[in-house]
Chains A and B, each alone.
Chain A
Amino acid sequence: MSALVEIQDVKKSFGSNEVLKGVSIAVEPHEVLVVIGASGSGKSTLLKCINFLETYDEGRIVFDGKLVGYKENDQGRDIAPESETREIRKNIGMVFQNFNLFPHKSVLENVIEGPVQVKGVTKSEAIEYADELLKKVGLADKRDARPSTLSGGQQQRAAIARSLAMRPKLMLFDEPTSALDPELVGEVLATIRGLAEEGMTMIIVTHEMAFARDVADRVIFMDDGIVAEEASPEEIFTNPKAQRTQDFLARVLNQRKVLP
């Protein structure tokens, strides 16, 4: 089986701050990869490199057989034309910590924006699928509401529906529940778990360790720009090898007891 995403020795600096120091990860189709790690370890940056919201300096990211963001030539490589990067992005959904719904549009308009404006799907077709998705994430009754009138959990579920509307092959989640009140975390995690059960390929950055253990096929622990440990959820949570993983888990498991 060939990987859907292949990250090969990727390096990335902001000025003199090297944030990714050679990260290699492969994600198989239908796999759920959970990324954990301390604040500032480069998790968000890594996710943004995968759909080229951030450039990367060295290494390669291959999504669905295509190099992300660059065109290679004899001299090295250049930034790929925007149209090619957009083509890749159409197939990668991204869910943000702060939802980033479009506030001037209703929930339904948020969900059909991509299909209609980017993919050129007819409006009626887009609405039909949007209604299906909104039902799936439990927001059928909110389809005409403005995002600002929704709870955080509802906003995040709407954002998930917006991503799914593009029929992506891969979903990226960057701390999807970190901005939520504890009582709203469960509904969002349940939605994500539903996607996992349907076989969606996902990379999820989260601090919800119980959820990670439950939903992940594989867990990666990032520390200071490298993958410090990579293992099955059982292994990493019961028997972490690296000292840094042990320290990190001891710290977060003590202070966070939110169960999905």
Chain B
Amino acid sequence: MGYEWQFSVLYQYWPIFVRGAITTLEITLLSALLALVIGLPAGVGKEARMWPIRCVCSVYIEVIRGTPALVQIVWIYYCLPIILGVQLSGKTTMIVALGLHAGAYVAEIFRAGIASVDKGQFAAAKSIGMGYWQSLRRIILPQAVKTMIPPFINEFATLLKLTTLGSAIAVYELLHESNNLIASIYRPLEVYTFLAVVFFMITYPFIYMSLRLERRLKRGE
């Protein structure tokens, strides 16, 4: 039995895909930003001298890495209102949940990046009177950034794809828009296939960039 593909019917619905893609990118960018803001202190804190800080950071990183992103999203969406009495909108939930989620992975990238820099650099920075954060900002991170960029980009691509989980809490990202469209035009094969293509087109440039950078850095060493 041959299926008759009719991609042309999708043509008139392009604004829906654009709208979905904008929401998807918005969630991705904002949660990536949040992940960076959380990731740096968490990654640094995991190696902190004071044990309570070390403890908090390790627990955060391990709990996040040990549970599925979808569970984290629905937990923030459904449980947080019961516990704290604050109901976040679907989109905000996605940004917060994915930010926290990616933050744990970003923390590991920061930690490994900082560890990749020669310890003597910290000693030299301290010996001229720099404080810890100042050494990190001026001396250590500029050197670590080379090794951190490829995994950052990878993490970003992962984040992009994780936005589809938003459909579980009715956020109008690409997948949810697609489902709605299917409900009205009954063309799941076309819509889902096209959705895959859209995602690939958004994500692949980042993956490609990360590969290129990684190769270039390896050659540079």
A residues in contact (CB < 8 Å) with B: 48, 51, 53, 82-83, 86-87, 89-90, 92-94, 96, 98, 100-104, 113-114, 117-119, 159, 162-163, 166
Contact = CB atoms under 8 A, between A and B. Distances in A.
B189 interface: no
Given A90-B129, A114-B129, A100 B121 contact: yes
Nearest to B123: A53
B208 to A, nearest CB: 26
B128 A89 contact: yes
B65 interface: no
Interface stretch (B73-81, B134-142, B156-164, B174-182): B134-142
Contact of A94 (B118, B127, B130, B132): B127
Given A53-B123, A113-B138, A100 B130 contact: no
A86 B130 CA distance: 7
Contact of B124 (A82, A92, A100, A104): A100
Interface string B180-191: 000000000000
A96 B127 CA distance: 10
Give the interface size class of chain B.
10 to 19
Interface in B91-148: 118, 120-121, 123-132, 134, 138-139, 142-143
Nearest to B130: A118
Contacts of A104: 142-143
Contacts of A103: 143
28 contacts: A48-B123, A53-B127, A82-B132, A83-B131, A86-B129, A87-B129, A89-B126, A89-B128, A89-B129, A90-B128, A92-B127, A93-B127, A94-B124, A96-B123, A100-B118, A100-B123, A101-B124, A102-B139, A103-B143, A113-B128, A114-B128, A114-B129, A114-B130, A117-B138, A118-B129, A118-B130, A163-B127, A163-B128
A48 B142 CA distance: 25
B53 to A, nearest CB: 15
